[in-house]
Amino acid sequence: MQTIHSYHANHSLMKIKIIDLLKMPVLNWIHNRPPDMNRSNEIAEYIIIKQPVLDWLFYIISPTFNKYEILDGIHRFTALHIIHKKIEDNTVLDGFNKDAFYNMDVLLSVRINPSLGECVDIFQNINKSVPIAELYVRVMTDMDKRRILEDVYIKWSLAYPSHFTHCNRPQLPNTNRDKFIDLLDYIYDKLNITPSNKNCLEEKLFEINKEIREHLPPKISQKVIDKCNISGCFLFLLRNESLQDFVV
């Protein structure tokens, strides 16, 4: 890892080869959202097929010696590990130049032992133009809540994959991760969910889903209705604002 520029004693811009970055003990920042593996796999597939120059910058903190956490870039970092695993398993496409991949340089903006407030400010400044779920912008103190919401998201995204998209503005009857997390966050608070009654969160989702199925919103095309009939998911025929009206 080579220092390109020092902003001050605890903040430097570094250059590192991908092969060395993959060896570093890097974790996701605890208050960051977990990586979406579908998105990381898409990035990995693009790199393998197109073999572009990766002029990437990762924002990283080092809270203690030889420990690193990613504030921004977790999907790209995960994609690098996906490619590395494919190379090790010999499942990468023929013609992929693994030496060029491993020896490519990427940039790291590294802050040493920053305060939690500094980390939150950095995270918000980086993501202010991107619709990040409110849950992840806040400093999370209730880790039980975070785990419960993540578990429900995973269950629903696996049960109804055709209704989850990476688009910032999903079309009905779809949603995306952040919008669904925001909905779960609202229901969680409204119903006073705790680890002891966490099943009530999904029960409410199924209840709303049933209500919408039995009373379809007006002006919904037959094509959209057919999609919902096939999947069994009618929840996202309405936007979050309308779905919140069902939570009483």
**Is residue 135 exposed (0-12), middle (13-18) or buried (19+ Cβ within 10 Å)?**
buried
Q: Where do the domains of the chain lie? A: 2-130, 135-246
- The angle formed by the CA atoms of residues 49, 43 and 155, to the nearest 5 degrees, is 130
Torsion of CA 145, 146, 147, 149, to 10 degrees: 80
pLDDT digits (tens, 9 = 90+) for 184-240: 999 999 999 988 899 999 999 999 999 999 999 999 999 999 999 999 999 999 999
pLDDT tens track for 37-46: 888 999 999 9
pTM of the entire predicted model: 0.60
